[in-house]
Amino acid sequence: MVTDLPELPCRELVELVTDYLEDRLSPIDRARFEAHLTECEACRTYLEQFRETIRVLGRLPEESLSPEAREALLTAFRGWSRL
Residue 1, amino acid: M
Under DSSP, is residue 13 helix (H, G, I), strand (E, B) or coil? helix
Contact between 14 and Zn ion (CB under 5 A)?
Answer: no
State how far the Cα of 19 lies from the Cα of 29, in Å rounded to an integer. 10
Among 8, 32, 33, 43, binds Zn ion (CB under 5 A): 43
Q: In degrees, to the nearest 5, what angle opens at C-alpha 3 toward C-alphas 32 and 8?
A: 30
Contact between 66 and another protein (CB under 8 A)?
Answer: yes
State the residues that interact with another protein by CB under 8 A: 9-12, 14-15, 17-19, 22, 24, 40-43, 45-46, 48-50, 52-66, 69-70, 72-74, 76-78, 80-82
